[in-house]
Chains A and B, each alone.
Chain A
Amino acid sequence: MTITKITDVAAFAAKHAEFANTILFSEDEVPEVLPAEREGVDAAREHLLDVIVALLKSCREELWSRAAGTQARAMMEKNKNRDSSIRSRKRVDMGVLIESSYVETVYLWVDEEPTRPGVLSLVGEVGVQSKRREAIRKVAETDRLKRADDENLRVIGKPLTEGTELTVLAKDLADVLWPAALEVRQNLL
């Protein structure tokens, strides 16, 4: 089944991040979950991961389409994360080519954000190698583009509400993230 929208179960999990992180994404068994509930919890976890993988891949494809025709596109696709890797980390890392090195990287993930506690958020970030930090320091923050703890430039996506198309969420994120990635790239060259 192809997932194209945020489902009711995914929206519920996104609205209750503490529950999602503690019960659904627990690495070990949660004894407080009753035996009769375990199958449902397992199914919800797998379903939520399906949605997250579909969402992150949708964002990645949107960024690839923004990079179409540029040298960066081929390099962004070259070392793409496998689905299994995205699933286990709930995260996508994408090196953006600067000459022949991944000096700049775009990250995408879904997790609880310190600036938006209590909910799971779609997050995009642009980072550079630590010795080239000057390139991101030059980029000005905006209402949606903020500097994270490690100085990377971070964008939080629209809320993951039931029925929202994944492509809409991906386009919204890319609208802020991609211009920032390009500006950083310019600063690096």
Chain B
Amino acid sequence: MEVRQYVETIARMGARLRHPEDVDRGARRRAFVVRLLKLQRGAPTPERDLGSTALDAFRKQVMPRHEALMAAVRSGIQDRRGALPASAKQQICALEAAVDVLGLVRAPRDEVTHTRLIADLLGAARSTPPPVRVACIRALGRLLRSRATAAALVPAVEDARAQSEVWVSSERRVDLVLTSPSAKIFIEAKIDAGEGAGQLDAYANALASSLAAGQRGLLVFLTARTDQAHSTSQPHVHITFQDLLVSWLVAASECTAAEGAVLMAYLKSVAVHVCGVAGDGLFDAWPVHIQRRCLALYEKAGDA
């Protein structure tokens, strides 16, 4: 039964019930309730009916013109790319040209490999050129300060030394630790997995007990998706790999191409395998939805 038909039937029944010359109103009311109950069994579920009507509209209107719709989207992408600021266009060009290093070593989403590379770029590896280390650590500091709440104050990180996979107890190992005379920062990274039970709380306690005199601590949760954020009671800063990507693309643009080659190779892997905002080769060869995501990333950054 259609929704309209159902409503009309109820309205007719109700109108009869209120008839002024009705001498047997009680019996009519009982009959009304019985009919109403019977009618209810065949009543349409509003959501389902609306859904199927809308699905029919999809079948009739959208499915036949899907190719034209995709052609319009592709054309829109060219316009949007053309409207980006020069710095964004340069960063997309850099992503096109970069080598996907973690794809090459067959560890595109391996957390340990990611955190080792991040630590290396922050100076754990002696081979990292100083301008790259400085640009990365400054960019990370700016990012953390932009995301910090009052409860999680960000200490200065610019002179910090980076180390990956640091054991903080007999059972717990933090992915990345930044240490300076005035600061200690624990960074826990998650790509596919979620946080282990009480993991952040345990790290916060380990961090608090490891601080030297004059050091301030900060716990950072670095995740692939925003929904991996956790409701720990401990003050912490939550950032995503996409935040890191945007921040470090700027850092890479501050270095020469030769200095920043390893950084760009890592960022290409993050963009392709973790954030889904880049593909193999040139922009025009990337899947359309990846192109749109990439443009949205820069458009949002521009709006901010």
Our count of residue pairs bridging A and B at CB distance below 8 angstroms stands at 89
- Output the nearest chain B residue to A127 by Cβ-Cβ distance: B192
Pair B112/A36 contact, Cβ less than 8 Å: no
Pair A40/B69 contact, Cβ less than 8 Å: no
**Which residue, of B56, B69, B103, B108, has the highest number of chain A Cβ atoms within 10 A?**
B69
Of the candidate stretches B2-10, B15-23, B59-67, B120-128, the one touching chain A is B59-67
B interface, size bucket: 20 to 34
Is residue A44 within 8 Å, beta carbon to beta carbon, of the partner chain? yes
Is residue A32 within 8 Å, beta carbon to beta carbon, of the partner chain? yes
Pair B51/A25 contact, Cβ less than 8 Å: no
Given contacts A18-B289, A130-B113, contact A30 B73 (CB under 8 A): yes
Interface string of B212-247 (1 = CB under 8 A from A): 000000000000000100000000000000000000
Pair B54/A21 contact, Cβ less than 8 Å: no
| Assembly CA distance A153 to B255 (angstroms) | 39
| Assembly CA distance A18 to B107 (angstroms) | 26
Is residue B167 within 8 Å, beta carbon to beta carbon, of the partner chain? no
B60-88 residues with Cβ-Cβ distance < 8 A to A are 61-63, 66, 69-70, 72-73, 76
| Assembly CA distance A1 to B292 (angstroms) | 34
Task: Pick from B106, B109, B287: contact of A18, CB below 8 A.
Answer: B287
A interface, size bucket: 35 or more
- The smallest C-beta distance from A133 to any residue of chain B, in angstroms, reads 9
- Output the nearest chain B residue to A147 by Cβ-Cβ distance: B106
A5-44 residues with Cβ-Cβ distance < 8 A to B are 8-9, 12, 16, 18-19, 21-23, 25-28, 30-33, 36-37, 39-44
Pair B55/A32 contact, Cβ less than 8 Å: no
Pair B103/A149 contact, Cβ less than 8 Å: yes
Interface string of B277-299 (1 = CB under 8 A from A): 00000000001110011001000
| Assembly CA distance A36 to B107 (angstroms) | 45
Is residue A151 within 8 Å, beta carbon to beta carbon, of the partner chain? yes
Give the chain A neighbours of B288 by CB distance below 8 A: 18, 21-22
Task: Pick from A26, A42, A150: contact of B107, CB below 8 A.
Answer: A150
Pair A40/B62 contact, Cβ less than 8 Å: yes
- Output the nearest chain A residue to B76 by Cβ-Cβ distance: A32
Is residue A88 within 8 Å, beta carbon to beta carbon, of the partner chain? yes
Pair B61/A36 contact, Cβ less than 8 Å: yes
Given contacts A18-B287, A39-B54, A149-B108, contact A9 B66 (CB under 8 A): no
- The smallest C-beta distance from B48 to any residue of chain A, in angstroms, reads 7
Give the chain B neighbours of A61 by CB distance below 8 A: none
Which positions in B face A, CB cutoff 8 Å? 48, 50-51, 54-59, 61-63, 66, 69-70, 72-73, 76, 103, 106-110, 112-113, 192, 227, 287-289, 292-293, 296
Q: Nearest 10 CB-CB pairs, A to B?
A: A43-B54, A40-B58, A40-B57, A21-B289, A32-B72, A44-B58, A22-B289, A39-B54, A22-B288, A130-B110
Given contacts A18-B288, A43-B51, A47-B55, 17 further A-B contacts (CB under 8 A): A9-B55, A16-B66, A21-B288, A23-B62, A23-B73, A25-B289, A30-B73, A33-B69, A37-B62, A40-B54, A40-B62, A44-B62, A46-B51, A88-B227, A130-B112, A130-B113, A150-B110
